[in-house]
Structure 1
Amino acid sequence: MASEPLSSPNSNLTWTAKKNTEFENALAIYDKESPERWHKIAMFIGGTSEEEVKRQYEILLEDIKNIESGKVPLPSYKPNGGSSRGDINNKEQRLKYLKLQ
């Protein structure tokens, strides 16, 4: 499932899990104060345009809004569900420093 592409029904974009991770890392590096933010993020990811990056950002914000409003339930994870604690820490650390707005 992790290798399935991530996409929006209103978009022809297809984002792999790897591309999405690169996107999240780039958001953590280039915050809203970064000059030419969308261009830099697109270059960081590679193979994408500023417009695609902006659209993916809009999708992310909508997803967050839906999660926070309770429209999307959080998954229930099983203990030792196949992910090492190191992976979880890395993702938690990366998400902690995301500067979305």
Structure 2
Amino acid sequence: MKTIVTFIRPWNRYNRGEIAGFDPATAAGLIGIHAVPYRPAEATPAAIPAAAPAPAPTAPEPAQSFETAMAALETPAETAPKAPAAGADLPIQGRRK
């Protein structure tokens, strides 16, 4: 006959919260260190609180067309930032002292 335990710490291939059955000698060695005796009242669906009902889904907004999205991302040449002039001074970072 097996003794059922609930793990409270990782042991071997079992993680915390997992339930497993072992022979009484192995279970006795695990209880108190890695596991506690299994209590079926904790795992019943009546013990788990009911979740609030999900709100009704709303209709998603229509997606933009590819052309509209690309037009919003493109920057006209007049408003794009200008490159520095060829003789402009470089920032101090990168210069040799």
TM-score, normalized by length of structure 1? 0.21
**Larger Rg computed on CA atoms:** 2
Instruction: Kindly indicate whether structure 1 or structure 2 has the higher relative contact order, using CA contacts under 8 Å at least 6 residues apart.
Output: 1
Could you say which structure has the higher helix fraction? 1
Hey, which of these two has a bigger chunk of strand by percent?
Answer: 2
**Structure 2 length-normalised TM:** 0.22
